[in-house]
Homo-oligomer: A and B are copies of this chain.
Amino acid sequence: MNAAPTPNTELTSALEDYLETIFELVKERKVARVKDIVKARNVKSASVIPALRRLADLGLIHYTKRESIDLTETGEATARRIYSRHKLLVRLFRDFLGMPAELALQDACAMEHNLSDAGVDHLVRFFEFLQSCPDGHDFIERFKGCALVNAESPQDIATCCAKLALSPNDPNIISLRQLKPGQGGSVIRIQGTGAIRQRILDMGIMPEVHIQLERRSPAGDPLWVRVQNSQISLRKKEADMILLRKDTPADTNAP
């Protein structure tokens, strides 16, 4: 995936993964063996050995042929740094956003290599805020209890918010289908779940995105809308699910 002017002396994502695996193995059972790494990372031993050699060259592990593997001091520090990014992302996705543990883990594994120091810092500040501030905790709990998060146990938004600004009768909050051609609005939320929801998200329609209704086909069903500067077509059924705040006359040339 990369390859750039790789100066051969760099910790790549793959190596980070190996290092992290070793870290976990050592933590768990004091010693890492090739077999364990093969199993944990689901690769062949032929892939592991050169990786170990390179980690050894980088001074991150102690590795001599046919002997047990462990981390050097800098190796352990580096691994802990990677591992803590991992934990942080898991915490974000699982504990805060309510994502299933399994999936949160997968995403965290993949993303941890790309999270910058600044990203770490800002996530940490967020968690610090939650730790210190009971408002924060209340907020998260309400968020997690809410139908938006867990479609299976739907609890209405109104129940989750202390004060709900979107009165159901606000005439500016309408579904995309109710727009007139030429009108636009900003997405507030996508009603509904499952495959249709995913399709709508895949098209780039998500909260805070601006949509404009261009026209309806004569038959009425496919609607043509403009999103992110390009035109896409939607079925009525989908347009019903997209809730938005209609532009006020003021913001005619909206984002």
A residues lining the B interface (CB < 8 Å) = 1-3, 12-14, 27, 76-77, 80-81, 83-84, 87-88, 91, 93, 97-100, 103, 106-107, 110-111, 114-136, 139, 142-143, 146, 148-149, 157, 160-166, 188-190, 197-198, 201-209, 227-230, 232
- B residues less than 8 Å from A27 (CB atoms): 228-230
- B residues less than 8 Å from A121 (CB atoms): 197-198, 201
Chain B: minimal CB distance from A119 (Å): 5
Verify A160–B143 contact, CB threshold 8 A: no
Verify A84–B204 contact, CB threshold 8 A: yes
Chain B: minimal CB distance from A212 (Å): 15
- B residues less than 8 Å from A198 (CB atoms): 117, 121
Given A132-B164, A149-B122, verify A208-B97 contact (CB < 8 Å).
no
Given A114-B111, A114-B114, verify A206-B127 contact (CB < 8 Å).
yes
Q: Of B77, B122, B204, which one neighbours A80 at CB under 8 angstroms?
A: B204
Measured in the bound complex, the distance between the Cα atoms of B245 and A38 in whole Å is 39
Verify A208–B114 contact, CB threshold 8 A: no
Q: Of B116, B120, B132, B204, which one neighbours A161 at CB under 8 angstroms?
A: B132
Ranked 10 nearest A-B pairs via Cβ: A1-B1, A110-B114, A84-B204, A128-B189, A127-B207, A97-B122, A133-B161, A134-B165, A80-B204, A125-B148
Verify B1–A134 contact, CB threshold 8 A: no
Instruction: Given A76-B230, A111-B111, output 16 extra A-B contacts at Cβ < 8 Å.
Output: A1-B12, A80-B204, A84-B206, A84-B209, A87-B204, A91-B208, A98-B125, A99-B119, A111-B114, A125-B149, A129-B149, A132-B157, A134-B161, A134-B163, A135-B142, A136-B143
Verify A133–B91 contact, CB threshold 8 A: no
Chain B: minimal CB distance from A73 (Å): 10
Verify B206–A124 contact, CB threshold 8 A: yes
| A92 closest partner in B (C-beta) | B92
Verify B76–A132 contact, CB threshold 8 A: no
| A109 closest partner in B (C-beta) | B114
Chain B: minimal CB distance from A135 (Å): 5
Chain B: minimal CB distance from A93 (Å): 6
- B residues less than 8 Å from A100 (CB atoms): 118
